[in-house]
Amino acid sequence: MSAKILVVDDNPTNLKLVSDVLAFEGHEILKAVDAEEAQIVLADTLPDLILMDIALPGMDGLTLARKLRADGRTNQIRIVALTAFAMKGDDQKAFDAGCDGYITKPIDTRKLPEQVAGFLAMERSKR
């Protein structure tokens, strides 16, 4: 299934890696380096899925996720947190902010397409 995916990450290497892997799978990729840029992209386009880095300069990814959930225009977009802190409690923080799931960094490029496909197949009502 081909989807429109917004990747938000302030780390250029990570942003390129994730974007390239998913573009190779046939997905249409939109990119943003911070929450501000993500909101500019979202004002124009509604993606099927957002891969959201949590640690961003300025507004962090969880704050943006909460904002998108509170907005009727964006509240149906699937949001998956990208978190570098593989720490207990961070998964719950992501869910509490309205994320549908999370993927732990470093990204496993062999697993990423399957992980993304799983989130795309997930019903939003299950959240």
| Residues found near Mg ion in the complex (CB under 5 A) | 10, 53, 55
In whole angstroms, how close is the CB of 56 to Mg ion at the nearest point? 5
| Residue of 35, 20, 118, 34 whose CA lies nearest to 78 | 118
Asked if 37 contacts 12 with a C-beta cutoff of 8 angstroms, the reply is: no
Nearest CB to Mg ion, comparing residues 90 and 117: 90
- Nearest approach, Cβ of 77 to Mg ion (angstroms)? 20
Nearer to Mg ion, 10 or 90 (CB): 10
Closest-by-Cβ residue to Mg ion is: 55
Q: How far is the CB of 23 from Mg ion (least distance, A)?
A: 20
Closer residue to Mg ion, CB minimum distance, 48 or 53: 53
